[in-house]
């Protein structure tokens, strides 16, 4: 059975820049993924989200 579109979760793909930043700042990948998934998004300029 397929999940409804709203229930699907896309995988988080981090760029090379993001990986270097994580290392430099001492974050874990799990912390970054949790922040991405749990932080509320709000509208920004040019119909983007921030």
Are the beta carbons of 37 and 30 closer than 8 angstroms?
Answer: no
Say what the pLDDT of residue 6 is.
Answer: 61
Tokens (6 digits) for 3? 């999940």
Is residue 1's pLDDT more than 90? no
Give burial (CB, 10 Å; 0-12/13-18/19+) of 32: middle
- How crowded is the C-beta side of 40, counted as CA atoms within 13 Å? 2
Rounded CA Rg of the chain: 14
**Rounded to an integer, what distance in angstroms lies between the CA atom of residue 45 and that of residue 38?**
22
Provide the pLDDT for residue 7. Answer: 66
């Amino acid at each position: 059975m397929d999940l409804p579109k709203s229930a699907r979760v896309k995988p988080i793909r981090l760029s090379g820049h993001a990986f270097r930043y994580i290392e430099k700042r001492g974050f874990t990948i799990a912390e970054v993924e949790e922040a991405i998934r749990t932080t509320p998004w709000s509208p920004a300029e040019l119909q983007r989200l921030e």
